[in-house]
Amino acid sequence: MPAPASIDAFKALAEWWDDMGVEVDDASVQAYLKVAERSAPPAATAAAAPVRRPRRKKINWVEEAEKAAIACDSVETLKAAIEKFDGSPLKQGAENTVVYDGTPGASLMIIGEGPGAEEDRKGLPFVGKAGQLLDKMLAAIHRDRTENAFITNVNYWRPPGNRNPEDEELAVCRPFVDRMIELAKPTLIVAAGGVPAKYLLDSSNGIMRLRGTEHVYTTASGFSVPLIPILHPAYLLRRPQDKSRAWRDLLLVEKRLNELGG
């Protein structure tokens, strides 16, 4: 029995014998080929060959965010770019993209952690219970989001169960946060709570160590703004006994704004 690869060779040989006038019993040749072909394993077909799909290029969402952010020349266009951005794994589970509230261009910028349930529903930052306390804290230093305060977050989509945002969730927002600071040009940033304070200052110190002291935040492209961390209003709702600390921090914020001409 010829090996599969030699079936064609055997056919060619039989034809050559025929051409040469060698007497070949055609019935025997046909019978032989039938048996050989039946026992040969099926030739590899295109379908059996491994299908090579073109590899999908993995999207680098931080780079995408950087490109989208740098192309914006106003706070409003930046807001639209953030709303259009699909690079945060949190976006799918969120009802709204929460970018900012208040007065673009105000000398005071508050940066919080990210939207909670109420903020997610309304599409605005700090509008739940903690937001109401923040408004009172701002009023104590003669600030109001409708007039002279700008409020945003380090993350624009509500994490499930209100957990803290994870590093990669913060990383895709960072270029937008930086661009927001560069476009709104605040005189002073207040980081509300441990998450934005530690993240923006790249510090492993807790909020109790960072709060009430002045630091400097510098964006990736080199724009620097003084930053004072304060206790998060949601924390103060749970621990009202710490409100005196928050009060001292707010007085420092007011003093520095006056000194900086804000």
Q: How far is the CB of 91 from ligand URA (least distance, A)?
A: 16
How many DSSP H helices and E strands does the chain contain?
11, 6
End-to-end CA distance of the chain: 96
Output 2 or 116, the one with its CB closest to ligand URA. 116
- Gap between the Cα atoms of 171 and 196, Å rounded: 12
- Closer by beta carbon to ligand URA, 14 or else 210: 210
Residue whose CB is less far from ligand URA, 107 or 152: 152
14 vs 253, beta carbon nearer ligand URA = 253
Minimum distance from CB of 52 to ligand URA (Å)? 47
- The CB-of-88 to ligand URA minimum distance in angstroms stands at 15
For the record, the structure tokens of 96 come out as 């709204």
Question: Nearest distance from residue 130's CB to ligand URA, in Å?
Answer: 5
- d(CA 7, CA 36) in angstroms, rounded, equals 7
d(CA 181, CA 185): 6
106: number of Cβ within 10 Å: 21
Torsion angle, CA of 96/196/105/136, rounded to 10 degrees?
Answer: 80
The residue whose two tokens read 């007011």 is 254
Q: How far apart are CA 117 and CA 129, in angstroms?
A: 11
Residues that bind ligand URA (CB under 6 A): 112-116, 119, 125-126, 130-131, 153, 192-193, 234
* Nearer residue to ligand URA within complex by CB, 193 or 226: 193
Identity of the residue, 107 or 155, whose beta carbon is nearer to ligand URA in the bound complex: 155
Residues 169 and 179: their CA atoms lie apart, in Å, by 17
Three-class SS of residue 58? coil
The nearer residue to ligand URA, 148 or 164, going by C-beta atoms, is: 164
Cβ 133 to ligand URA shortest distance, Å: 10
How crowded is the C-beta side of 178, counted as CA atoms within 13 Å? 24
Interatomic CA distance for residues 37 and 6, integer angstroms: 10
